[in-house]
């Protein structure tokens, strides 16, 4: 499975492509950052992010896209920019019919380092080790994008099994009858 990881951001949007399957050595295919000028209007920055992600999708043709799930921070302005960049990544993937997976930062850190509270240096060190790189990808946004892709590759089989089990349980469950359509049966003579 080839996964494009996207660490969304308005100034630096990390992108990284990892190929592999759970339980086997993984391979980094590409890593980088889509940059936009901080003084440009947000609408123009989002267009640049779209163009950058589309270029990565064209070049690397991933099977799916893993995007960092936006979480609440104290700085609303930062959250808004991250959410907007995240939406652009999801839109680019959906337009091509690619599945999109969202992973929280702590989920990614736990998958890659074993601790949901790992710092950026620890994530970079583990990405370097897991992908057998000579040095950690720079900037940290690029390493985070690779970590997202790794997390998805490792978690996707378990998530797929869970989704299949839930779908099977729904199919096996008896059809429910709407409460308004139920009538209480009157007792029959001689049954009491």
* Residue 119 known to be catalytic: no
**What residues contact 52, with CB distance under 8 A and at least 6 apart?**
13, 15, 34
Q: Which of 7, 107, 119, 144 is catalytic?
A: 7
* Residue 141 known to be catalytic: yes
* Residue 68 known to be catalytic: yes
Q: Which of 50, 63, 119, 141 is catalytic?
A: 141
Helix (H) or strand (E) holding 159: helix 140-172
Alpha helices in 61-139 (DSSP H): 76-95, 105-113, 120-130
69: left (phi over 0), alpha (psi -120 to 50) or beta: beta
Q: Which of 68, 119, 134, 144 is catalytic?
A: 68
The residues that are catalytic are 7, 68, 141
């Amino acid at each position: 499975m080839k996964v494009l990881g996207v660490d969304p951001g308005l100034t630096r949007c990390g992108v990284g492509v990892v190929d592999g399957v759970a339980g086997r050595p993984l391979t980094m295919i590409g890593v980088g950052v889509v940059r936009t000028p901080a003084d440009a209007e947000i609408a123009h920055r989002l267009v640049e992010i779209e163009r950058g992600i589309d270029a990565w999708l064209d070049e690397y043709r991933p099977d799916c896209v893993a995007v960092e799930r936006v979480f609440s921070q104290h700085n609303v302005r930062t959250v808004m920019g991250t959410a907007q960049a995240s939406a652009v990544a999801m839109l680019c993937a959906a337009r091509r019919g690619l599945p999109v997976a969202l992973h929280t930062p702590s989920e990614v850190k736990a998958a890659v380092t074993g601790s949901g509270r790992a710092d950026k240096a620890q994530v970079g060190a583990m990405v370097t080790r897991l992908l057998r790189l000579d040095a950690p990808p720079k900037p940290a946004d690029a390493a985070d994008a690779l970590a997202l892709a790794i997390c998805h590759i490792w978690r996707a089989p378990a998530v797929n099994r869970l989704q299949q089990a839930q779908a099977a349980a729904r199919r096996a469950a008896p059809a429910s009858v709407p409460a308004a359509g139920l009538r209480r049966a009157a007792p029959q003579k001689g049954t009491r």
